[in-house]
Amino acid sequence: MIIFRYLSRELLANTFAVCTVLMLVLLSGRFVRYLGQAVAGNLEPGVIFAILGYRIPDFIQMTLPLAFFLAVMLTFGRLYVESEMSVLRSCGISERKLLSYTMLVGTAIALLVAWLSFVVAPSGTAKYVELYTAQQQKSELDQLSAHRFYSLDKGNLTIYAGAVDEDQSLSELFLAMFRPVSADHGRQREGLVLVRAASGKQLRDSEGGGDYLVLEQGVRVEGRPGSPEFRLTYFDQYGTRLKSDGVAARRPDIDALASSELASPTSPALSDEYRATWHWRLALPILVLVVGLLAVPLARTDPRKGRFGRLLPAIIIYFVYLVALNAVRGSASSGAVSPLLGFVGVHSIFIGLALLLLYVEKLQLSRLPKRPLWLGGGA
């Protein structure tokens, strides 16, 4: 139990440390991306942290298998480098015993990943999709703030508001719009429209006809740059329609669906993709167990090479494993392969590789001298 507690503490501490570093990298990258969208006016700054919070379970379920894999590599690498493995073997603690301890810790982490994969991550993804879609469906006027110039309507409209109330009512408005106007010989020239209004508000067509900006108590100046002819109009109320491409109808994000919905697809056309996604969620906790089995033999190293001697090839093997699972998911989603056979086949290949590496080490140990050579032992 002392050795088990010692090994478990090392594995969990390293897993937490590696997972924290990976999460910081992922979250910082996403934060920069969302911040850029907020600067461009596509997201409200206040929802960035809410969106990141909903994505955290999904990030954790993807980083935990890699974190556990690297934790086993680092922990066992240190045991080899500091000769603790030799001491444990001389005390009768075999590598198989240490492997069983490692798999117990791996089973606990796999159960955590399964809970995240089947329950928490889909719920968080659903809330993220709902919030993000709501942000994308907001009109350009919903994102205005006071004392700033905004380019709207694909660059055809520039607007400035001196004040923006909580109900998005605008005051001290200035607008510059470019509109085609008739010129000589029936040609269309680019015309300029300047509008100054005391107040304004946004109206939405309930039938989906678009958004309108309604201005009150102002003046409208229309003309063509370079021409002395301008039309001056005073108005009590003036409205202009904001062109918008709209948000295209999109199918629900399959990663946001509950696992119970994936298990019983309502549409035959989506059955392959649903089953592939369900098996993908099951593959993540199995991935934790398989990489734990792989990491133990891969962590064997010569003390003179250091604990990081085999880290690079081990990481390459891990990403080959992960890419193979993603390839199976893509093929299964299109119906090219059976998701059950595809995922079982990939897992079986890497389980076989782990068992082969364990057997090779066992074969090498059986060939070591039974007694030290200086005592006259044979090979």
Report the C-alpha gap between 143 and 193 in whole angstroms: 23
**Which residues have a Cβ under 8 Å from the Cβ of 124 and sit 6 or more positions away?**
53, 54, 55, 56, 57, 58
Say what the pLDDT of residue 3 is.
84
Q: For the residues 155-178, what does the mean pLDDT come to?
A: 78
- Reported confidence tier of residue 371, pLDDT bands at 50, 70, 90: very low
Write down the domain spans for the chain: 2-137+252-375, 144-242
Q: For the residues 312-322, what does the mean pLDDT come to?
A: 92
Task: Take residue 154 and report the two structure tokens written for it.
Answer: 């694909």
What share of the chain has pLDDT > 90, as a percent? 32
Task: Quote the mean pLDDT of the chain.
Answer: 80
What share of the chain has pLDDT > 70, as a percent? 78
- Write the pLDDT tens digit of every residue in 121-131: 999 999 998 88
| Bridge partners, 259 (sequence order) | none
Task: Take residue 265 and report the two structure tokens written for it.
Answer: 């697809």
pLDDT over threshold 60, residue 282: yes
pLDDT over threshold 80, residue 191: no
- Reported confidence tier of residue 325, pLDDT bands at 50, 70, 90: very high
pLDDT over threshold 50, residue 206: yes
Which is more confident, 179 or 185?
179
| Of the ranges 16-20, 86-90, 199-203, 292-296, the best mean pLDDT one | 16-20
**Which residues have a Cβ under 8 Å from the Cβ of 167 and sit 6 or more positions away?**
none
**Which residues have a Cβ under 8 Å from the Cβ of 376 and sit 6 or more positions away?**
none
Report the C-alpha gap between 173 and 21 in whole angstroms: 48
pLDDT over threshold 60, residue 375: no
Which is more confident, 285 or 227?
285
pLDDT over threshold 90, residue 38: no
Order of strands, sheet of 157-164, starting from the edge strand that comes earlier in the sequence: 149-152, 157-164, 170-182, 188-204, 211-223, 230-242
- Write the pLDDT tens digit of every residue in 216-274: 888 888 887 777 778 888 888 887 776 554 444 445 578 888 888 887 766 665 688 88
Say what the pLDDT of residue 307 is.
65
pLDDT over threshold 70, residue 361: no
CA 314 to chain centre: 24
Say what the pLDDT of residue 6 is.
87
Cβ 215 vs Cβ 242: under 8 Å: no
- Reported confidence tier of residue 11, pLDDT bands at 50, 70, 90: very high
**Which residues have a Cβ under 8 Å from the Cβ of 135 and sit 6 or more positions away?**
42, 43, 44, 47
User: Which 3 state secondary structure label does DSSP give 239?
Assistant: strand
Cβ 260 vs Cβ 122: under 8 Å: no
pLDDT over threshold 90, residue 320: yes
Report the C-alpha gap between 277 and 259 in whole angstroms: 9
Worst-scoring range by mean pLDDT, 29-33, 51-55, 113-117, 258-262?
258-262
Worst-scoring range by mean pLDDT, 103-107, 130-134, 202-206, 329-333?
202-206
Helices 339-366 and 271-298: crossing angle, nearest 10°? 10
Rg of the chain taking only CA atoms, in angstroms: 32
